[in-house]
Structures are given as structure tokens and as C-alpha cells.
Copies of this chain bind each other. A is one copy, B any other.
Amino acid sequence: MSETLRHVLASESPRSAITVRGWVRTKRESKSCAFLEITDGSCFRGLQVVVDAALSSASLLPSILTGASVEVVGDLIASPAAGQKWELQASELRLLGEADASYPLQKKGHTPEFLRTIAHLRPRTNLFSNVFRVRSRMAYAVHRFFQERGFFYVHTPIITSSDCEGAGELFRVTTLKQGTPAKPEDDFFGRPTYLTVSGQLQGETFACALGNIYTFGPTFRAENSNTARHAAEFWMIEPEMAFCDLFADMTLAEENVKYLVDAMLSECSEELEFFGKFIDKELVNRLQQTLQKPFERISYTEAVDLLLKSGQTFEHPVVWGEGLQTEHERFIAEQHVRGPVTIYNYPKAIKPFYMRQNDDGKTVAAMDLLVPGIGEIIGGSQREERLDVLRAAMQHHGLSEEDYSWYVDLRRYGSVPHAGYGMGFERLLMFVTGVSNIRDVIPFARTPGHAAY
């Protein structure tokens, strides 16, 4: 490993005879010298390298094209050019790896659609290097948020024989050959297994032992949806807290979003400037507003009421007892509240079996956190901790108690009120970067028909 450009660019005084390595972003030549802008991905900014035409290794310049990798020895000096503190006066230039004219990233201005077809090269572009640096820092901020609060990180299983009822369509995992009439007993695990759609149920077992836990791992949906907001493989964050009710759950969700937005503003300023300039001019403003006041909280029943009274025409009718559609959610967050809003206490009939029933007999202690531009970014609930109520709900949903006996055990032995939520990590990234397609915030996106690499 050599010194990174981020480190070099942070130098406080001139330095002589340093060695830098990177890829050529641009080359400009004049009679007396050439200017190479090189980057090594460690930060958005590049370093300008000045190669005097009289230098013997200047003879390499004709074969150093955009995308080539180079090593340069030289003196770091104050740059006379605007907008950059330092430049490197080369004393020696070496070509590490050529990039000929077939290099697909010659020119700027490729469409995101084209760049998706070269997912192995697109992190070298301005947009995607910024996206993936942000993805890394946000992931770390997620861990910091929970670890600083004493939460334990739990790796819930990816391969599972449980299906977290109702969360979505499943991928099957098998070692059997397709087409053979083999039985599940012959399979690797001796039974049918799937890719997890959520670590919640297993996470609850750990919350009922360690108190406050979180998961952060890949989850899967085999749904044939080709939208800008759905992927078959995505990362989800799922905290689960013992001795916690719905309102404390909402409070944590709000703190979580604010912590991550604050991390974006304070730790990703270079990238944020880029996104604000080229992706979404309202981005910085929207993020700052997110931090300014408490998120509003509106019950589902109030939400239905305000939608009915809004005078708006919606494509889907607003009816108490049915799910809110994206158009409804966006109206509430973007037109009514004009900011993040948590909607809670949803109708029992449209929610999974594990959510805690409210005393009204009609609703459950569920909540969704909506943000402008994205819609739902978090969904959670208080879990049903009463053995008899859970059993009745399972029966109502046609679930066998045998299949979920371990889950029921949590209510049989030392049951406690507990609650949690799931945050889609990619949704969060779309919110903080302004990037509008989920395929562009995932290193190698998996969608119907697409699993290259």
C-alpha cells in the first residue's frame, strides 16, 4: 500500500521527492509541459501532476491516456492554479498499466443505463466513486449509531427454513440438480431452504436475551418488479429492543435517520457538493431541514382523514382499512407535512401476525417513517408479546404453531414488551445522495434478468 492521494492532498506544507500512484483522469498538453490529473479513489479530488516536456520520462506521455495507471515521483508544491492547493512537479513518471482507446470511460457524460452494463468499471467515474464512498461511510455510521448506544450486532442467518410470513417472495437455495425429481430430504439441509427476507424473527430471539440488538445484512425478494426502487438483493438494518414500546421505537427510528443525515452532511461534504450540483439541487437543503425539528407523528386514522379532506384526486381511492399507496404517502410527506413523518397504528387486517394488537381491536402497533422524495424508509412495529394473543393471530393467519414453536417460546418463557424496525439501506442512500434509481447505489445490482458478475 502506498500513501493515498487523500493523505497527500491534506499535506500542510510542501514536500519533496514523494511518490504517488493513481489513474489518469485527464491529460492536457502544451508545448512546454503536460498536466495529468490523477486520482486513486481515496477521495473525490484529484492531484494535478505537471510533467515538464524536458523530462526524459515525458517521452511516455503519448502512451498515457485516460484510464492509464501511473506512478510519479516529484515535489509537492503550492499550485498557482485556482481551486487547488497543491500540485506535483514530476521528476520521474512511470506507466504502470496502459488504457488504450477502447477504454469505455474515455469521455464524460455516459448515461447511468450504459454504465450499469459496465458495473466493474463504473466506480471509476465521478458519480459512482462518490456514491460508493458515501455507501461505505454511511454503513460505518450505521454501526457507530448502534454500537455507541450499546446495541449488539447479530448476524441472523441468510439461508433459512423460516419465511418471516408475508414479507415477500422467496428464492430457494438448493444443491439438488434442476429437473431431477429429488426430494427435499435429499437436499443439503434435508429440507427446503430459502434466502432470508428479514432477520426480524431471529433477531427477536437475541433481543430477548441481550436486550438491544441490530442486524445489518443482505435480504432478498424474488419479486418480479422492475421499478427504480426495488432490487432482488439489498441490505437491511433491523434493530430490535427488549423492554420497548411503539413510541420508543419511533423515537429511535427518528434518531437513527437524523444521525445518518448528520453523518452525510459532516463526513461526506465533497461528495455532497457533487450530488447537490449534478444530481439534485434541493438535496443539501432537504437534508438540513431533516435535522431541524422533531418528525411529525400522525396515526393511520388521522392520515386517512387528512387525505379524504385534502381535496386531492388520487389514482387509488382512500379507504380506511386499506394500505396507503405511494401517492398517498408522498402527498402526506411532501405536501401536507413537508418533511419526514411517522404514520402509526395501522389496520390489523393488512399487517403481519407478529404485530402487537391495540386495545381498539382494529389496529396494530405498527409504524412507517416516510421521507420526502422517497416515501417509506423505515417500517416497524411493537411485537405481540402476549402468548394467547399471538397464538390467536397465528391461527387467524393460518400458521402452524409447530413451525414457529421457537418464536412462540419467546412468549412462553420470560416474555417482554419489545419492538423494532427495518430500514432499507439503499433507500437511505437514495435519500442522502439524491440518486433516483436503486441500481445506481448498489455495487452489482440484482434485478429480474440481471445477475452479471
Contacts and interface: CB of A to CB of B under 8 A. Distances in A.
A212 to B, nearest CB: 7
A352 interface: no
Given A161-B451, A410-B120, A449-B189, A153 B140 contact: yes
A216 to B, nearest CB: 9
A320 interface: no
A394 to B, nearest CB: 16
A439 interface: no
B173 A173 contact: yes
A168 to B, nearest CB: 12
Contact of A414 (B97, B133, B173, B195): B97
Interface string A18-30: 0001011000000
Contacts of A159: 171, 195, 220, 232-233, 446, 451
Interface string A139-164: 11001000100111111111111100
Interface of A: 1-2, 4, 6-7, 21, 23-24, 40-42, 67-69, 96-100, 102-103, 118-121, 123-124, 128-129, 132-133, 135-137, 139-140, 143, 147, 150-162, 169, 171-176, 178-182, 184, 188-191, 193, 195, 201-202, 205-206, 208-213, 217-218, 220, 222, 224, 232-233, 235, 241-244, 248, 252, 385, 406-407, 409-417, 442-444, 446, 448-453
Contact of A212 (B42, B156, B407, B415): B42
A177 to B, nearest CB: 9
Contact of A154 (B69, B99, B132, B195): B132
A1 B416 contact: no
Nearest to A182: B178
Sorted nearest first, the 7 A-B pairs with minimum C-beta distance are: A97-B415, A41-B210, A123-B209, A189-B451, A136-B152, A120-B205, A69-B414
Count of chain copies: 2
Contacts of A133: 152, 210
Contacts of A24: 414
Given A173-B195, A178-B176, A1 B243 contact: yes
Nearest to A191: B451
Contacts of A208: 124
A416 B41 contact: no
B409 A206 contact: no
Nearest to A186: B178
Nearest to A171: B173
B451 A193 contact: yes
A243 B179 contact: no
Given A209-B41, A453-B161, A136 B153 contact: yes
Contacts of A244: 1-2
Contact of A178 (B96, B172, B448): B172
B152 A210 contact: no
Nearest to A201: B453
A4 B218 contact: no
A47 B241 CA distance: 20
Contacts of A446: 157, 159, 189
A370 B79 CA distance: 48
